Structure 1
Amino acid sequence: MTTLLGVMPVVLLLACSRQLSSPAATETATLTHTTAVYRTVYVSTASQLTSALANALPGDSIVLADGTYSGHFTMAVSGTAAVPIILQGSRNAILDGGDINTGYVLHLKAAYCTVRGFTVRNGLKGIMTDGTVYNLIDSVRVYNIGEEGIHLRTFSSHNTILRCDISYTGLKTPGYGEGVYMGSAKNNWGTYTGGNPDKSDSNQVLNNHIGPNVAAECIDVKEGTTGGLVSGNYFDASGITGANSADSWLDVKGNYYNIDGNTGYNPSGSVLVDGFQVHCVYSGWGNYNVFTNNNCTVNASGYGFNIQLSGSNGTTVGNKVYSNNTVTEAVSGVSNIALSN
């Protein structure tokens, strides 16, 4: 029976019904003295999934049976802070876009949604968010993708990417093959954000495994974004290509990011140059980022932390690399800036 969340167990009249007809089996539970109706919707085909997403209500849990769901899917109905909409399944429930050359396998365009546990593969982009807030992408496997694995775009803020496994990205366009991509490059602001910075702010990327065979950076933080947290992740540089100047695990071009407690590994012989980088690609950006407690096995000619100080686009300020970071096998040293204590 469906679990009832966020409602006090006052005098109840529990009315349960199960609908087993197409498009999906649904359980509902209703409480007197409230208007809450929370449903568990079981799906086992692509058409049932499409229908369940289109007709979702706040509080719905859409449960994927194991199997392959072929197509491109859009989650555009919002939940609420108290009762999010949940889409969940095991790793054996697979959303398959069918072609690494086109389309988003899963397109999130809603607020207060959780996607959890299943697999996303075979699309130009794995999971794309546009204009989303307070979503959770949890324990999803993303692989075999033409460009980015997970992309937070178009003012997508306060979202969390947690415990995901991302590999084999950039199979079509290696230079766009980031594992996680936050925001939009300045050259795309005219397309997606009316010429304004893409303020995809305050997002968190936590405890994910990114790599191997992520063709560009494991994480790319774009100019125009502010105030995110990147923590507890494991980065594997095996298969990084160097295309489009991608030669680090993480490249920060935004402001006020906290990068803490990540572990980076680079096998000898890859094209990685530095472990972590900060760049100013647009004046006023690439500032006040803080690196703490990261463990870096670089095995490359560069630094553990390479902070661009100035360039043709401007000067960075306020970035700090703390002495509690651990760096091994970086030929140029721990950091190109003085360490903070």
Structure 2
Amino acid sequence: MRISIVLITTALLGGACAKNGTGPTASTAVQPTPAPVRSVAVATASQLQAALTYAQPGDVITLADGTYTGQFTVPAGKNGTAASPVMLQGSRSAILQTNIRTSGNAALFLLGNSYWAFRGFTVTNSKKGIMVDYSSHNLFDNLSIHTIGEEGIHFRRFSTYNVLQNSSIQSTGLVEPGYGEGCYIGSAVSNWPTYTNGDPDKCDYNTVQNTVFGDNIKAENIDIKEGTTGGTISGNTLNGKGLNGANYADSWLDVKGNGYTISGNTGTNGGPVLVDGFQTHVAVAGWGENNTFASNTCAVQAAGYGFNIQTKSGSALGNKVYASNRVAGAAAGTTNITVTP
């Protein structure tokens, strides 16, 4: 593996020294010093796994164009910092795959990591695209994820404050349509005993923004599970063309968590299976509440609503559908609850 080292000179930021030269004033703010940047060039699968295994804060790992076959894993505890994240980057022609869609796991697997940035490359031809467990404060930017047996990217096992943005996801669920979500946040209550010792899978405050969900996503474009809180879904392009309907997948987006902000998204291509544009569900008592939908544009072209909010005992559980949403082609209307001005 070819490694070149580039040092970045840093200085403490803050107030000037006292006039007598004895030290800094009380107002001095000491900023964290970024780690030196190491430029790590990789061109083979073994070099890529080595770069992930031995990564240090500040590393910039650059993939040469080509196909990297394997289940590439970031070991638990291998972290960057807020000041010096670890970056894995490449062009669309740098392709990660397992080359098996029917078994195995993800082409890229985080196992308990923070402050990584993944930029530019392609993930394809695998059972799962990217799996994120026990990991927080990571960025997934400008990625292409496609031709996947199950879900495209999955934030699971208490993964929080992650951001997926500016990416493209299509052709997921090609082997198991019922597990073919483009982006999956959290775990279903039926899986809590397996993944979280029976506790809610608190994958909180994750963001999905400015991402294009393309054709042939078999399940929901984005599935937000019970037990998760406070995420943001904004500026995405959602697509129902190719939706399969397995496991009740009949909307672009299904919200079972609490306190999500869903705004500025555009939904198109209803497809024969689409029923509603956006849905909420109460899979577990106390969940599916206090979500807001604003400034979304929905060309539903289906029999249901633009926003179908599951109610309980006549109450919408704090969910709000604002008048700023624009809905066309929804035979049942904009929403089944009172619109908030």
Question: Do they superpose with TM above 0.5?
Answer: yes
**Match in the other structure for 1:26:** 4
Aligned with 2:7: secondary structure? Answer: strand
Q: 1:71 & 1:233 partners in 2: Cα distance? A: 30
Q: 2:340 & 2:9 partners in 1: Cα distance? A: 56
| CA distance 1:321–1:30, shift in 2 (3 Å) | closer
Q: 1:54 & 1:142 partners in 2: Cα distance? A: 23
Q: What does residue range 5-20 of structure 1 map to in structure 2 within 5 Å?
A: none
Q: 1:36 & 1:251 partners in 2: Cα distance? A: 41
- Letter paired with 1:121: T
| CA distance 1:277–1:54, shift in 2 (3 Å) | same
Do residues 85 (structure 1) and 63 (structure 2) align?
Answer: no
1:187 to 186, 190, 196: 190
The 4+ residue runs of structure 1 with deviation greater than 4 A are: 30-35
- Letter paired with 1:56: A
Q: 1:192 & 1:171 partners in 2: Cα distance? A: 24
**Match in the other structure for 1:44:** 43
Q: How far off is 1:81 after superposition?
A: 0.7
| CA distance 1:333–1:36, shift in 2 (3 Å) | closer
Do residues 206 (structure 1) and 209 (structure 2) align?
Answer: yes
| Identity rate, percent | 53
- Letter paired with 1:142: I
Taking only aligned residues, the RMSD between alpha carbons, in angstroms, comes to 1.6
Question: Contact conserved, 1:301 with 1:331, CA < 8 A, in 2?
Answer: yes
| CA distance 1:297–1:30, shift in 2 (3 Å) | closer
**Match in the other structure for 2:24:** none
Question: Contact conserved, 1:262 with 1:294, CA < 8 A, in 2?
Answer: yes
- Letter paired with 2:74: M
Q: 2:267 & 2:226 partners in 1: Cα distance? A: 23
Q: 2:258 & 2:143 partners in 1: Cα distance? A: 28
My pick for the range that moved more, 136-145 or 68-77, is 68-77
**Match in the other structure for 2:71:** 72
**Match in the other structure for 1:4:** none
Question: Contact conserved, 2:109 with 2:130, CA < 8 A, in 1?
Answer: yes
Do residues 128 (structure 1) and 142 (structure 2) align?
Answer: no
Aligned with 1:189: secondary structure? Answer: helix
Q: How far off is 1:216 after superposition?
A: 0.2
Q: How far off is 1:292 after superposition?
A: 0.0
Instruction: Give the number of aligned pairs.
Output: 316
CA deviation vs aligned residue, 1:19-73 (integer Å, no higher than 9, x gap): xxxx233333265987943201000110110111111000000000111011110
2:290 to 288, 291, 296: 288
Do residues 245 (structure 1) and 223 (structure 2) align?
Answer: no
Question: Contact conserved, 1:24 with 1:52, CA < 8 A, in 2?
Answer: no
- Letter paired with 1:300: A
2:161 to 158, 163, 183: 158
Aligned with 2:159: secondary structure? Answer: coil
Q: How far off is 1:108 after superposition?
A: 1.5
Q: How far off is 1:75 after superposition?
A: 1.8
Q: What does residue range 136-285 of structure 1 map to in structure 2 within 5 Å?
A: 136-267=139-270, 269-285=271-287
**Match in the other structure for 1:20:** none
CA deviation vs aligned residue, 1:189-238 (integer Å, no higher than 9, x gap): 11111110000000000000012100000000000000000000001111
Q: 1:234 & 1:30 partners in 2: Cα distance? A: 39
**Match in the other structure for 2:97:** 96
Question: Contact conserved, 1:286 with 1:316, CA < 8 A, in 2?
Answer: no
Aligned with 2:279: secondary structure? Answer: strand
Q: 1:273 & 1:49 partners in 2: Cα distance? A: 43
Gaps of 5+ in 1: 1-22
| CA distance 1:247–1:36, shift in 2 (3 Å) | closer
CA deviation vs aligned residue, 1:65-119 (integer Å, no higher than 9, x gap): 1110111101231100110000000000000110111211000231000000000
Question: Contact conserved, 1:283 with 1:315, CA < 8 A, in 2?
Answer: no
Question: Contact conserved, 2:35 with 2:84, CA < 8 A, in 1?
Answer: no
| CA distance 1:30–1:252, shift in 2 (3 Å) | closer
Gaps of 5+ in 2: 12-32
Aligned with 1:310: secondary structure? Answer: coil
Aligned with 2:267: secondary structure? Answer: strand
Q: How far off is 1:265 after superposition?
A: 0.3
**Match in the other structure for 2:340:** 340
**Match in the other structure for 1:6:** none
Question: Contact conserved, 2:34 with 2:83, CA < 8 A, in 1?
Answer: no
CA deviation vs aligned residue, 1:305-331 (integer Å, no higher than 9, x gap): 0001038xx975000000110000000
- Letter paired with 1:104: A
Question: Contact conserved, 1:285 with 1:316, CA < 8 A, in 2?
Answer: no
Do residues 330 (structure 1) and 330 (structure 2) align?
Answer: yes
My pick for the range that moved more, 327-336 or 75-84, is 75-84
CA deviation vs aligned residue, 1:132-167 (integer Å, no higher than 9, x gap): 010000010001111100000000000000011000
